[in-house]
Chains A and B, each alone.
Chain A
């Protein structure tokens, strides 16, 4: 399923771009992220705790940044295994446009899950994904705010 939206981030496009490439910021913004370590350029291992419907699981997986067009767009994607809970993978295509001194961020999220999460929580994937995406970007805006005012 595909979910999208847009946010006005209170920072310049260059700062937003930097933030989107900063593992510390990503770790702060990815909901449930317990660990994010760079393993290669634009590649990280991650541990994320997610709760979808009745299934709560710790996913370990890989986060990658790809299709980079500085400072306009990239794809943030992740793939994780949650043991018997199954797997989840997906990503967000993110585009940045200047909007005065702010930056308009538009995103499209795609999510695929398998295993127990799909069997018991499939009804909730869309709403959960929406919630997780908005959590990510709301935190992202907050971090941007503090960066700019700092």
Chain B
């Protein structure tokens, strides 16, 4: 089937994007549209002494100027973290109060204090300047390590010492014992640099209140509109769910940052009711840097023990994670269940213990960003393995091979049960593709040009499609992580798929249609994929954690099963055949072994005409399904990076990057490769370019593209991509997920390559030319002295 599973078909959605007819939130203008601007704290930590709104209210075009006391006074609830994680002593996590508009204290630069609504955007912004807020500045702390120290400024009365929870996983005593008895022990410190997600479309919201119906409509840049509606309704009490429609139209990238319900959406909804109209807000880029949830920001120490044969006997990790000023929606799960559970990597490790302490600081909240916890885990284990190999004087390839998990299922000591994989397969494929064995000659050739060439690898494993719901519920999740789908067959045989997944660049309109094509042999042009509107789609958990394929498409497959079964019953009845003999292919419904055949559209029409249906059968052909996966899925792969460093300047060029992944069954290789390319770029960004930096007073120094280094085209190479396949046994399609792998697997490969080139293992991310130059010189000075 040319358009079915495995076909490299171009995207159905592209036409509107390449012609400028995409419809993003900011492109929409409602009737009598009014505009909001937020007055934000310029201080990282301060008490609000007074707010004077009078001058602003008198400005031209201003409709209203509203503050946090009015918001809480109207019963709008505090913003919550949706995943409960307790400390190891059983104490519940210390969630500090977070109002959409600050009432008494501001806790990070950018914290929203006042919303101004005016007739034009310029008027709103001008009036925002006229709001006078008197602050009493308080001392601020931006580093998680410092925030835990005695005497540090305190953020929330609910969280003494700024500690949110002190959590552990695995058994400490046996791990300590194993490492104490190890033949070789290697220790390392790690900093996982703080990042700003930066989808190219800034966040935007349009909230419209209909006073007659007491009904709200919210257009928003969301990865999960149903979850947004649920939270806005159940927790923030903006409106009951049936009185709130949330639409996420075309969304220009998310990378995790558009999972969360932010203060601005809540404030716009509330302001639309207060002003009885439609309120629109669009973030500018600086606001995005200040207020979009950041990613990563871990500080860790790790210790690994090997026996005399270099088998790993134990791994101990201690991590401090910065969660910023407030707990964002999934902030508690990211550095715990999405991080420490992956510390076993691709290796058979009998004893693992990890301690994770999460901390408040006067910085924007930190939450899931592409990879969410798994990049931090893979960076730690893959840097540690590589460095161990170098210190122990054995080949990093051999050290990995000796310790690979080779039998499945494999239960790790940190919850995860790997269901399938073939780590040797992608390792050897990647080594071949990257000509790993030929590196010595390339190093010599580079040296003759005065350059330092290095090679490094990373063998990552990650977990996607967080589920099953009962299991994540037992770990504290406030929602179930299933997905829903509806397949609506029209009387003429065309099909609408309504999915709870949300596409913001992933190409669902194409890949989801390919499933239908694969099943019934219909051209993908006959299939329409509908998503992102709570009035249309029954429910959905949205798109994050690389779950749309493994979970979202599995729900569609289940609904297709039901449609297929009913269509076959109808066809069997019409053709007086046995239901078991009916096959559907190439758009035809046939009785196997006979020449009896009906067009797919004829069966569909019969279902709707209902003139001649099997007895007792309801008319119509439309089925829904909810799919709850049996397990996480476990994509894995081997990434090899080769770099050339200029020793004079520290400038590093990636000369080759090879990625071989096992994503299970692939629906559309073109789209999957695109996902890998994008993930790699973000991983390379983290490893070499990007760093969100606050100064000691809590001012964000990297708040524009002048100071935050986004990967540009000439920072990146063209990539070499390959695939190996072990089908995922836990879902009907065998899919594992591909959205985050590139960002998870690449940073350690890059740092392993650069450290190989410069001969110094002590190099932190981002490996800027300055840092690489300093590390190289430190190493060569040391060498000269010895």
Contacts and interface: CB of A to CB of B under 8 A. Distances in A.
A118 B706 CA distance: 12
Contact of A122 (B128, B129, B289, B699): B699
Contacts of B703: 118-120
A63 interface: no
Interface stretch (A16-24, A64-72, A107-115): A107-115
Contacts of B286: 116, 119-120
Contacts of A112: 697
Contact of A83 (B43, B129, B700, B704): B129
Contact of B290 (A83, A84, A87, A119): A119
A123 interface: yes
A58 to B, nearest CB: 11
Given A87-B42, A114-B42, A114-B109, A119 B129 contact: no
Interface residues of B, number: 21
Interface of A: 83-84, 86-87, 112-116, 118-120, 122-123
A87 B695 CA distance: 15
B707 interface: yes
Interface in B693-723: 695, 697, 699-701, 703-704, 706-707
A34 to B, nearest CB: 18
Nearest to A123: B707
Contact of A84 (B128, B289, B699, B707): B128
Interface in B702-758: 703-704, 706-707
B523 to A, nearest CB: 50
A113 B700 CA distance: 11
B701 A118 contact: yes
A54 B695 CA distance: 20
Nearest to B286: A119
Given A84-B39, A87-B43, A113-B699, 10 more contacts: A84-B129, A112-B697, A114-B42, A118-B109, A118-B703, A119-B109, A119-B286, A119-B290, A119-B699, A120-B704
Interface string B105-126: 0000100000000000000010
Interface string B280-318: 000000100110000000000000000000000000000
A119 B289 contact: yes
Which 6 pairs show the lowest CB-CB distances between chains A and B? Answer: A115-B42, A119-B703, A118-B699, A114-B42, A83-B129, A84-B129
A84 to B, nearest CB: 4
Nearest to B289: A119
20 contacts: A83-B130, A84-B39, A84-B125, A87-B42, A87-B43, A114-B42, A114-B43, A114-B699, A115-B42, A115-B109, A115-B699, A118-B695, A118-B703, A119-B109, A119-B289, A119-B699, A120-B706, A122-B695, A122-B707, A123-B706
Contacts, number: 48
A122 B697 CA distance: 13
Contacts of B129: 83-84
Contacts of B695: 118, 122
Contact of B700 (A84, A87, A119, A123): A119
Contacts of B697: 112, 114
B126 to A, nearest CB: 9
Contacts of B700: 118-119
Contacts of B43: 87, 114
A114 B290 CA distance: 12
Nearest to A118: B699
A87 to B, nearest CB: 5
Contacts of A86: 42
Interface in B105-155: 109, 125, 128-130
Contacts of A120: 286, 703-704, 706
B701 to A, nearest CB: 5
A9 B125 CA distance: 46
**Residue of B129, B699, B701, B703 with highest tally of chain A CB at under 10 A:** B699
A84 B131 CA distance: 9
Nearest to B699: A118
A118 B702 CA distance: 9
Nearest to B37: A84
Nearest to B42: A115
A21 to B, nearest CB: 28
A119 B704 contact: yes
Contacts of A118: 42, 109, 695, 699-701, 703
B195 to A, nearest CB: 17
A114 B42 CA distance: 6
A112 B109 CA distance: 14
A137 B661 CA distance: 64
A123 B129 CA distance: 24
Contacts of B289: 119
Nearest to B46: A114
Contacts of A114: 42-44, 109, 697, 699
A112 B696 CA distance: 10
A120 B708 CA distance: 11
Contacts of B290: 119
A87 B134 CA distance: 12
Contacts of A83: 129-130
A83 B128 CA distance: 9
A19 B39 CA distance: 40
A84 B122 CA distance: 13
Nearest to B126: A84
Contacts of A122: 695, 699, 701, 707
Contacts of B39: 84
B218 to A, nearest CB: 26
**Residue of A83, A118, A119 with highest tally of chain B CB at under 10 A:** A119
A120 B700 CA distance: 9
A124 to B, nearest CB: 10
Contacts of B44: 114
A51 B701 CA distance: 17
A145 B552 CA distance: 79
A80 to B, nearest CB: 12
Contacts of B701: 118-119, 122
A112 B701 CA distance: 12
B593 to A, nearest CB: 72
A86 B109 CA distance: 10
A145 to B, nearest CB: 38
Nearest to A119: B703
